[in-house]
Chains A and B, each alone.
Chain A
Amino acid sequence: MKTVRINELRPGMKVVKEVKDAQGMLVCPADTPVSERLKELCLRRGVEEVWIAEEQDAAETRGTVRETPEQIRKRVREKFAPYMEDPVMARLCELAQEYLLRREEM
């Protein structure tokens, strides 16, 4: 992990530790994707730096950080795991993976 200044944040990065302002109020939780709105919010609340993963910064120089197809499949399968005995939910799990992979490609 490393800290970066707010104006160095780019879409595709993810804030890995929760951000709090000087009063200790939560600005955003851990794992919040970076967006223009988040940057504005941080600046408005006087937050100067946030934590991101080291590899995100490296990846940012190449473009944006994205989940790999295998990470998407794994994440969706884990969320659906308690319901996989239901054929409707098992099918929906497959369809959700396809949908999210397609959306990620766009």
Chain B
Amino acid sequence: MKIRNPREFVRDIEGLPTLPNLYTRFRQKIYDPKSSANDIAEIISADQAIVSNILKIANSAFYGFSRRISSVTHAIVIIGFNGIHHIVLNTTVVKMFSGQTQGGFDLSRIWEHSLGTAAIAKYIAKKKEQKNFEEVFTAGLLHDIGKVIVFKYLPDEFRAVMERVREENIPIKEAEAREVGVDHTEIGKCLLEEWKFPESLVRAAAYHDNPVLAKEKKTEVSIVHLANVITRAFEIGSGGDDLISPCNEDAWNHLGFALEDLDDIAAHVDEALRECAVFKDLMG
């Protein structure tokens, strides 16, 4: 099957999980300036699995707080609305990465690559003193969500993509364009737009391979781009092909880094991965 209109495709996918009502109500409340921590906590408390995940993450090395956080209200006060928003979002979509094998490729390798990109992106965001580091983390986690969609909902095409990648040694994006008609960045963009996810996540999914095209949220997109380049170079999981992705000069200049900064990021990769290990538990 060749996709002509990726937006229609994501709208019509049979069996694609919809976002839980809780997330929709939560999102409305979080953007309401009159909302209090108690209002938000009340919505979240309706789902004990999300409560448990929030407390797990809030008390993990991801934040590294010295004192134990024992309630959702406490977590909201300490972490803030935006941070909690992204924890809820991550815990909601993370299950999409669970799956089997298609065409000799295990979905857990894309999960490992995505989590690696997210962890490194979080480190870079903190290094750049970005306050929205949780948002950048989520953008990293979801940057390849389009590949997950092809893997799960177009299994025959995914197998053909992987065969082409192996036989012709080409980037997965190129193989997708030939076998599916569009690549994972377009599918990911349309899916996250359909779900009305924050703009930075949509743009990171759309432009992580070509950050020059991101006219807005350029810092977030550039961070995810660099994190993706490093994750591929360090062979953390797999993006589908084993090729190196070159660092875009425009993104590098936008971040204002010197080569010493690259040394620093590389030196902190394992620590960044350890800090985000809690997300592996969420996969179950």
**Residues in A lying within 8 Å of B, measured CB to CB:** 18, 26-29, 32, 37, 41, 79-80, 82-83, 86-89, 91-93, 95-96, 98-100
Cβ of A89 and Cβ of B247 under 8 Å apart?
yes
Given contacts A26-B103, A41-B101, contact A92 B230 (CB under 8 A): yes
Find out whether the CB atom of B246 lies under 8 angstroms from the CB atom of A83: yes
Q: How far is the CA of A39 from the CA of B196 in the complex (A)?
A: 41
CB-CB < 8 A to A96: which residues of B? Answer: 233-235
**In contact, B104 and A27 (Cβ under 8 angstroms):** yes
Are A37 and B106 CB-contacts (below 8 A) given A26-B159, A91-B262, A95-B266? Answer: yes
Contacts of B166 in A (CB 8 A): 29
Report which of A28, A79, A92, A100 forms a contact with B262, defined as CB distance below 8 A: A92
List chain A residues, Cβ under 8 A from B269. 99
* Distance between Cα atoms of A91 and B263 in the complex (Å): 8
Contact (A95, B262) CB under 8 Å given A79-B242, A79-B244: yes
**What is the size category of the interface that chain B forms with chain A?**
20 to 34
Q: Is B243 an interface residue (CB 8 A)?
A: yes
Q: In the complex, A91 Cα to B162 Cα: how many Å?
A: 30
Chain A CB within 10 Å, residue with most, of B103, B104, B106, B242: B104
Q: Is the CB of A79 within 8 A of B243?
A: yes
- B26 touches A (CB below 8 Å): no
Q: A41-B101, A92-B229, A96-B234 are in contact. Are A80 and B262 (CB under 8 A)?
A: no
Q: Which residue of B lies closest to A106 (CB)?
A: B270
In the complex the two chains form, what is the Cα distance from A80 to B246 in whole Å? 9
In the complex, B46 has a CB within 8 A of chain A: no
Let me know if A92 and B247 touch, CB within 8 A. Answer: yes
* List of A residues within 8 angstroms of B252 by Cβ: 88
Pairwise interchain contact B229-A18, C-beta atoms closer than 8 A: no
Complex Cα spacing A41 to B206, Å: 34
Closest to B166 in A: A29
Q: Tell me if A100 and B234 are in contact (CB < 8 A).
A: yes
Q: In the complex, are the beta carbons of A91 and B259 less than 8 A apart?
A: yes
The complex places the Cα of A30 from the Cα of B263 at a distance, in Å, of: 34
Q: Produce 1/0 per residue, B20-32, CB < 8 A to A.
A: 0000000000000
Which residue of chain B has its CB nearest to the CB of A30?
Answer: B166
Q: A88-B252, A88-B262, A96-B234 are in contact. Are A80 and B103 (CB under 8 A)?
A: no
Q: When the two chains form their complex, are residues A80 and B266 in contact, meaning their CB atoms are under 8 A apart?
A: no
Report, nearest first, the 6 A-B pairs whose CB atoms are least far apart.
A95-B266, A29-B104, A96-B233, A28-B104, A79-B244, A88-B247
Complex: A83 Cα to B247 Cα, angstroms:
9
Check A83 against B244 for contact (C-beta < 8 Å).
yes
Set of chain B residues within 8 Å of A98, measured between Cβ atoms: 266
CA distance A92 to B234 in the complex (A): 9
- Which of A80, A96, A100 has the most CB atoms of chain B within a 10 A radius of its CB? A96
Residues of B within 8 A of A93 (CB): 233
Cα A12 to Cα B229 in complex, Å, equals 27
Q: Residues of B contacting A29 with CB < 8 Å?
A: 104, 162, 166
